[in-house]
Structure 1
Amino acid sequence: MKKVRWGIIGTGQVAHHFARDFCHVKAGELRAVASRSKASADRFAETFDIELAMVDYFSLINSREVDAIYIATPHTLHFDLVKACILAGKAVLCEKPFTLNETQSQTLYDLALERNVFVMEAMWTRFNPVFEQVIDWVEEGEIGLLHSIRASFNTLAPTDPSHRLMDKSKGGGALLDMGIYPIFLAQHFFGKPDFVQNQAVIGDTDVDVFEQVLLGWESGQLASLEASMISCGPNRAILSGSEGYIEIESEWYKAKSCRLVSANGEEQRIALDFPGTGYQFEVDEVNRCLDEALLQSPNYSWQDSLELIATLDEIRQDIGLYYPGEEEPDDDDLEHHHHEHGHHKHSH
């Protein structure tokens, strides 16, 4: 396998986690990092022993020194950066959400196809070995028919109104950062939902600070999901079936252990002590796909990513949360709005 030369755009917290785990990647080299602040780029490069530190995103995108680029900027910049990477012929792993909405994502996947460039949304949970084990158990029928999924992602985010999570102009809110995980989990096993119900709480900065979402499928499955950036929680995931259940232990989206409990109470627990947090596995997947000249990962496809963002769009539309550049419906359109949904203002 040829050694893929990687570059990172953005030097925030997620980029740090990613770079820290890169030493566990099977075949790849971290060559370059770009930040809009020279100090930040230099510091990051020094911390992770990266040769090239750049102060302009486009210098990195057009650099002959990199083959693949990981994008870890605020959500609102994803579209333009992914587009620039595709046009420069660089393979892309873009932090989730891939873009702000389905229209943007579709545009980029169409462009990637046209330009013959590999792109993938960085749904790192999908490639976690514990998650792979859970998939195997479900597919092997270990819990019989899978009927329901319950999962949450609760965290205490910074309350500073200018922080990207609280800032509407940066695509802030709990749904796109935290809620995307439990919704991914449900859709991985059940596909795109037929019914979406949701209750959201809007904070002082006009973004959603937490929500509970109920997804339903014509075939009779349900998923009860929660995302919050103002409360703590166990962050476990439970998959309940006709012959037992699986618990992905805390924190399920980066778990190192899971257990299978059969209907008669027999328990099997698997703990995997992989190094780092687990960001290396998505990089291994990109490198493998590039080695096989694929444009998308068969394990987390463009279709998977599009179906996920479509559900997020539907929930946001229901909340009435629109980001810069998005069309807000006229009041007339809202007449036909479902009334079983509620949104509450939240103030500290």
Structure 2
Amino acid sequence: MKNFRWGILGTGKIAHLFARDFSFTKSGELRAVASRNKDTADAFATEFDIELALQDYYSLINSDEVDVIYIAVPHVHHYELTKACILAGKAVLCEKPFAMNEYQAQELYALAQKHKVFVMEAMWTRFNPVIEQVIDWVADEEIGQLNSIQASLCFVAPTDPEHRVNNLKLGGGALLDVGIYPVFLAQLFWGKPDFVQNQAILNETDVDVLNQMLLGWDNGALASLESSIISHSPNRAVLSGSKGYIEIDTEWHKAKSCRLISKDNNERAVAFDFPGMGYQFEVDEVNRCLEEELIQSPNFTWQHSLDLVQTLDEIRQDMGVRYEQDPEIHDENIEEHHHEHHHHKH
């Protein structure tokens, strides 16, 4: 297998977790890192034994030393950096959310198609062995017909108004940070919902800090989802079917175990003893796709990513959370789906 050379843009928390798990990948080499601060880049490179530490994102993007770039900077910079990577002919794994809205995402995927460059949203949960197991159980009808999903992803974030999760200019809010995961899980099985209802609490910086979402599909399926940056929760996921249910253990988006409970209460537990947190699996997928000269992953396609951002846009529009990257809203688009929305100040 070809040994693809990777570069990382950003040196924050997620970049550290990613770099730590990179050592567990089947192939590939972590060759370069870039930060806006040279000292930070140097420290990161030393910690993870990376050859090149660069102060400027664009130096890395245009470097001949890398084949693939992982983008791990705040949401608002994903669009411009992904675009630069595509134009430089570099394969891209961009942290979620892939873009601030559907318009940005559509443009980037069209550009990737035009330039025949591999691009994937870093929905690492999709490649977690537990999620693969759950997909198999559902496909094999081990719980009969899947009727509903309950999933939450909540944590207590710093309250500093300048922190990225509270800062509207940096794409703050619970939905794009953690709410994207429960929405992804529901859409993994049923695709884009046919209706969306939500209740949201906004804080004084006008970002959503707590969301409860009800998604519905014309086939009769329902998903009850929650995300928060102000509260703790079990962060489990339950998939309920006509013959039993599946529990994905806490924290479900990076779980190492799950259980299938049949209607007569027989339990089948499965645990995976993989090292690290599980970021290595998305890297393996990117490397596999590059080896096969694909420009998108068949397991998390551009359409999957677009369907996800469309739902997030719809929920956000409903909540009244708007980013400066959003296009002007025209009235005729608003009634496209049945909505009921309420939002309150926290």
Q: TM-score per shorter chain, which class?
A: over 0.9
1:184-223 paired onto structure 2 within 5 Å:
184-223=184-223
1:7-26 paired onto structure 2 within 5 Å:
7-26=7-26
Q: What is the rounded CA distance, in whole Å, between the counterparts of 2:107 and 2:131 in structure 1?
A: 30
State the shift of 1:328 in Å: 4.5
Q: Which residue of 2 aligns with 1:70?
A: 70
Structure 1: gaps spanning 5 or more residues: none
Give aligned pairs, total. Answer: 346
Structure 2: gaps spanning 5 or more residues: none
**Contact 1:322/1:328 (8 A) holds in 2:** no
Quickly say closer, same or farther: Cα 1:90–1:330, change in 2 above 3 A: closer
Quickly say closer, same or farther: Cα 1:336–1:301, change in 2 above 3 A: closer
Q: Which residue of 1 aligns with 2:175?
A: 175
Q: What is the rounded CA distance, in whole Å, between the counterparts of 1:117 and 1:332 in structure 2?
A: 35
Q: Which residue of 2 aligns with 1:38?
A: 38
SS state at 2:32 partner: strand
CA RMSD of aligned residues (A): 1.6
State the shift of 1:327 in Å: 3.3
TM-score (norm 2): 0.98
Quickly say closer, same or farther: Cα 1:54–1:234, change in 2 above 3 A: same
Q: Which residue of 2 aligns with 1:103?
A: 103
1:251-266 paired onto structure 2 within 5 Å:
251-266=251-266
SS state at 1:219 partner: coil
Q: Which residue of 1 aligns with 2:277?
A: 277
1:137-176 paired onto structure 2 within 5 Å:
137-176=137-176
SS state at 1:24 partner: coil
Q: What is the rounded CA distance, in whole Å, between the counterparts of 2:333 and 2:191 in structure 1?
A: 28
Q: 1:142-174, CA deviations, whole angstroms, 9 ceiling, x for partnerless residues?
A: 000000000000001111111111100000000
Q: Which residue of 2 aligns with 1:92?
A: 92
Aligned-pair identity (%)? 68
Asked whether 1:82 is paired with 2:82, we answer yes
Q: Which residue of 2 aligns with 1:136?
A: 136
Amino acid at match of 1:321: V
Q: Which residue of 2 aligns with 1:225?
A: 225
Q: What is the rounded CA distance, in whole Å, between the counterparts of 2:284 and 2:204 in structure 1?
A: 41
Q: What is the rounded CA distance, in whole Å, between the counterparts of 1:222 and 1:243 in structure 2?
A: 17
SS state at 2:206 partner: coil
**Contact 2:213/2:224 (8 A) holds in 1:** yes
Which one is further off, 246-255 or 333-342? 333-342
**Contact 1:154/1:231 (8 A) holds in 2:** yes
TM-score (norm 1): 0.97
Amino acid at match of 1:219: N
Q: What is the rounded CA distance, in whole Å, between the counterparts of 1:103 and 1:110 in structure 2?
A: 11
SS state at 1:313 partner: helix
